[in-house]
Amino acid sequence: MRKILLLMILVLAASCEEIKVKPAVIEASSEENPPSQESWDSKVLFTERSRLKAILYSDHIRMYEEERYKLLDGVRIEFFDGDGNRTSVLTSKRGKTDDITQDMFAIDSVVVVSDSGTVVRTDELVWRNKDEKIVSDKFVSIVSPKEKMEGIGFESDAALKNYTIFNITYHSIMEDKKPK
């Protein structure tokens, strides 16, 4: 009986095969320089001496710590004055922030709307942190309650109260529509 049991164990052991399981491999990104961090549906506050300057909302942020910048998709920025009142809102399809200067570059379908009704449209602009100015060297269209202007090159405060177009290609004064 022992011999039969030993023979059965040997037959069973010999019939077992080693099964090799290949683990699932997640393909690495094709990016040569992948981001160090990523974030979705983000909200970033910009403050200075406890004063809220701006709030950045982004659908997707890719952070590159070594290079010291962030790439943004689906950008919305709300700007605030010294009293904490919202003055304007910037939207664009893409953007980039410089972590050293804290400058923000808005790219593709850029629109800035002030709370006073002024609208700026351009392909690219920069919010310079050091002087809190919005600037662009691209074609810009500005429509305010008082005028419509177009041209190349632009500078303004974030509230769009004091703006300049450097090379004006079109300018018209809006008619006062109030009854006399």
The pLDDT value given to residue 74: 97
Strand order in the sheet with 86-98: 37-48, 51-64, 69-80, 86-98, 104-114, 119-128, 133-143, 147-157, 163-173
Q: Is residue 142 part of a domain?
A: yes
The pLDDT value given to residue 175: 76
CA-based nearest residue to 169, from 147, 152, 156, 153: 152
pTM: 0.76
The pLDDT value given to residue 88: 94
The pLDDT value given to residue 47: 84
Domain count along the chain:
1
Q: Is residue 27 part of a domain?
A: no
The pLDDT value given to residue 154: 94
The pLDDT value given to residue 24: 57
- Residue where the block lists tokens 């090159």: 153
Stated as kind and residue range, the H or E segment containing 94 is strand 86-98
Q: Is residue 121 part of a domain?
A: yes
- Residue spans of the chain under pLDDT 50: 26
* Domain at 71, CATH number: 2.60.450.10
Give the structural domain span for 62: 33-173
Q: Is residue 50 part of a domain?
A: yes
Q: Is residue 63 part of a domain?
A: yes
Q: Is residue 7 part of a domain?
A: no
The pLDDT value given to residue 174: 81
